[in-house]
Amino acid sequence: MIKKKNRWEVSETDVTPEKIYHQRRKFMQTSGAFCTTMLLSPWGSTWASLNQSITGEADATSYNNFYEFGTGKDDPVKSAQNFDTSDWKIMVGGECDRPGEYALEDLIDSNVVEERIYRFRCVEAWSMVIPWLGVPLASILNKLAPNSRARYVAFKTLHDPRQMPGQNRSTLQWPYREGLRIDEAMHPLTMMAVGMYGKTMPNQNGAPIRLVVPWKYGFKSIKSIVSIDFTEQQPPTSWNMAAAREYGFYSNVNPEVNHPRWSQKKERRIGDIFKQKTLMFNGYEEEVAGMYEDMDLHINF
């Protein structure tokens, strides 16, 4: 049998810079047992960024939106260094057959961990290309056995104002909430990331586990997840609760639907000087457009 690769799937040596490739191998050999089992198998494949150059690690780990640690782009890297992610637990509930409290190693199947290089587009019209380490979200959800009433998946971030100083301000209603339709959550592009650039996830980027949905604006990719719930009704989401006119539930990258305060037709790749055109669904239109073919994306933005 001949396996036909998806458009974004290529061998890792085709897209991963040599320095990162060898760094990841060294990290796998020297890390602790749990971290090692969560990293990419030497024979795994890489999901390509559609032929875009990778953003520098220093940029991707120092220019962040993570309001739990402050609203400035450099607040997370300064305020999250002592964030304690040990003994992390995730509560699972709602419309599923296996609710309960899970440790990371209970949810992450080391056999399906891989590196995926995805475009990452922020609603503020800046973007990056990041090599993530993680698993398909579907591999986690299948373990939890959602039932026939589960139409959505809801997520929450840790609420701990002692460790997360930004939560002492009323910037948003804490804890941070996000959600996906079940078909979006089960899509093969959707992943739960536990690392980036060949290393475990930095605190400022959402340690120890975060969502990555590459065809949606970055705020949909919720960080430091402690709760997964399967719901029959569309769950509330933080930015939609704060400003429904500006932030819709779907928040698909769409150059034809502007933010009320700025255009989404162009973006600036971090590290570049000039702007480039924003791609529909962030360049993943071929893979995901079918999920929205009967929807008016100007209304369901």
The pLDDT, as a whole number, for residue 49 is 55
Report the alpha-carbon distance of residue 67 to residue 71 in Å, rounded: 5
The two tokens of residue 155 are 């997520």
Query: Which pLDDT does position 52 carry in this prediction?
Result: 74
Position 18 scores a pLDDT of: 41
- For 168-177, which contacts have Cβ atoms below 8 Å and span 24 or more sequence positions? 171/67, 171/71, 172/67, 172/238, 172/239, 172/241, 172/242, 173/238, 173/241, 173/242, 174/68, 175/226, 175/227, 176/67, 176/68, 176/222, 176/223, 176/238, 177/222, 177/235, 177/236, 177/237, 177/238, 177/241
Residue with tokens 């209970």: 106
Question: What's the CATH number for 9-291?
Answer: 3.90.420.10
Angle (CA) 235 201 58, round 5°: 115
Note the pLDDT of residue 109: 84
- Domains of the chain: which residue ranges? 9-291
Each of the 301 residues of the chain gets a pLDDT tens digit; together they read 444 556 555 455 444 454 544 444 444 443 433 444 444 433 344 555 556 799 999 999 999 999 999 999 999 999 999 999 999 999 999 999 999 999 999 999 888 889 999 999 999 999 999 999 999 999 999 999 999 999 999 999 999 999 999 999 999 999 999 999 999 999 999 999 999 999 999 999 999 999 999 999 999 999 999 999 999 999 999 999 999 999 999 999 999 999 999 999 999 999 999 999 999 999 999 999 999 999 999 999 9
pLDDT of residue 3: 45
Cβ–Cβ < 8 Å for 218, 260: no
In this structure, the strands spanning 152-157 and 177-181 are antiparallel
The answer to whether 74 and 1 are in contact (CB under 8 A) is no
To which H or E segment does residue 152 belong? strand 152-157
Q: What is the pTM of this model?
A: 0.88
In degrees rounded to 5, what are phi and psi of residue 113?
A: -70, 135
What pLDDT does 115 receive? Answer: 95
